[in-house]
Structure 1
Amino acid sequence: MSGRSPRHETIIQLVKDNGFMSIEELASILDVTPQTIRRDINHLCEENVLRRYHGGAALGGSVGDEDYFARKAKLQSEKTHIAQLVADNIPNNSSLFMSIGTTLEAVASTLIQNHSGLRVITNNIHVASIVSSRADFSVMITSGTVRASDGGITGMATLDFINQFKVDYAILGVSGIEADGALLDFDYREVRIARAMMENARHRFLAADHTKFGRNALVRMGNITDFDAIFTDGIIPENLRKQMEEEGVRYHLANR
């Protein structure tokens, strides 16, 4: 902690609040040069408080996620715009897997507005509560152990339940996306469920706001090229965009 200036503390708080901050954004907010911000980031990376990534910084830790209510309160407008893009690509009368995450809850809230005849299978109590408000939707919630922190359901019973089905679309979230396209999460049990959903879906959609790019987490879920389409509100780093284009992965960019 020694050697931290008030500016360092401000940088840390900005990254915590936003998940990722570019050097240009930090320089503008703090009214200093990009070179100064680079030096600050290098100092904080040495302390393992931050992690440098694609011209900016993300949080340095990889073993714990934020509190559910803190995540839910953040980026509500961005998540709504991403959710609308996802919903625009889901036909009526489709079958869906929907996983854990606050962005998935935003997708659920959008789907109930103008879709009909959906069949939703989810391990997210909040998603189930939202979509069950529609009488013409068929909603199944998986068996398994409920996680008190966020209403997610995981475990071997959840895995067995998911493997009984073959659906049209799997709509998933993620905690972090590495520079090489690796998808990361914090809970290995949640990752096993997500992989089962991917394996048992004809089309795979990933919904991830811009703060997920460069964010660190502990458990590998797969690669960005495992999906048919990516829905985000931020510019995808060029190396990832090239990788996706080579593999035929579509990406949809929402307005913020």
Structure 2
Amino acid sequence: MYAPERHQQILTRARADGRVDVTRLAVELDVTPETIRRDLTALERHGLVRRVHGGALPVERLGFEPGLVDRQDLLSGEKERIAKAALDELPDAGAVLLDAGTTTLRLAEMLPADRELTVVTHALPVATVLAARPGVVLHLIGGTVRGRTLASVGTWALRDLAEIHVDVAFLGANGVTAEHGVTTPDLAEAAVKRALVAAARRTVVLADHTKVGHVDLARVVDVAEVDTLVTDSDVEPEAADDIEAAGVRVVRA
């Protein structure tokens, strides 16, 4: 097993169980405890876990939110597939909203050059990618910029979003479950995400398999307000089935 695969298994276990133990992981993954300690150090360096005596805790349990740079290279293959599948949700022409996040940023990079689109975003990285793109009319939502996600939040952003209506909103999420809906770590970003949903005729959530079945601090919307969830093929079948049973179309990329 390669190190990135091991890292993902460790992170998934930490998020599911609330903590991981070095000795137990070494046995389960058939490696030495020293290898697991190096793995945990690497995950901590990326802001995904916090080391404790004998193991580690996921940052979500401690109330930490990894920054954009820390998340950019995590699950890059899955995010690539999700963004590519999300292209099928674009209108032939019209207006879309792109939320902040690493997967929505990948979608922005993939937007077809032969399609006339109006793109509205509150995410500075998305705006940077699309600012000079031919065929794209870009509208940047203002507000207070959060350092962790480089997204505009607050009353200015909410006011601007209340004045528009688009065909599709592409929403990022830190958690998606049938019971608790779409969730995210920050209350201010949750409010903006709700405004994105309210401004769109259809809502498409982009979330890799580690987010499906996970619940975070701030509720965005119920799953009943989501039209499509695009995730990857490693999604937990039971969690995806529950979301489908709630009326959401689930695309496994």
Aligned to 1:16: 11
Letter of the structure 1 residue corresponding to residue 10 of structure 2:
V
Q: Structure 2 regions of 5+ residues with no counterpart?
A: 1-5, 18-24, 32-53
> Is 2:216 aligned against 1:221?
no
Alignment TM-score, normalising by the size of structure 2: 0.76
TM-score when scaled to structure 1? 0.75
Partner residue, 2:40: none
2:100–2:172: 8 Å Cα contact kept in structure 1?
yes
Residue 117 of structure 1 pairs with residue 112 of structure 2: no
Higher relative contact order (CA 8 A, sep 6+): 1
Residues 179, 116 of structure 1: alpha-carbon distance in 2 compared, 3 angstrom cutoff: closer
Q: How does 1:44-193 map to 2 (within 5 A)?
A: 61=61, 63-111=63-111, 113-178=112-177, 180-193=179-192
Aligned CA RMSD, in angstroms, stands at: 3.1
- What are the within-5 Å matches in structure 2 for residues 24-35 of structure 1? 29-30=29-30
Q: Deviations over 1:49-80 (max 9, x none)?
A: 65xxxxxxx76616221122110111111111
For residues 141 and 19 of structure 1, the distance between their equivalents in structure 2, rounded to whole angstroms, comes to 37
CA contact (8 A) 1:92 1:115 kept: no
Aligned identity (percent) is 26
Is the 1:48–1:61 Cα contact (8 Å) retained in structure 2?
Answer: no
Q: Is the 8 A contact 1:62 1:218 kept in 2?
A: no
* Residues 175-209 of structure 1 deviation map (CA, whole Å, 9 limit, x = unaligned): 12246243211111111111011011101100000
Partner of 1:202: 201
Distance in 2 between the 1:15 and 1:252 partners?
25
SS at match of 2:216: coil
Equivalents in 1 of 2:94, 2:237: separation in Å?
32
Decide which moves more: 191-200 or 232-241. 232-241
Structure 1 stretches of 5 or more lacking a match? 1-10, 32-46, 51-57
The alignment of Structure 1 onto Structure 2 pairs a total of residues equal to 220
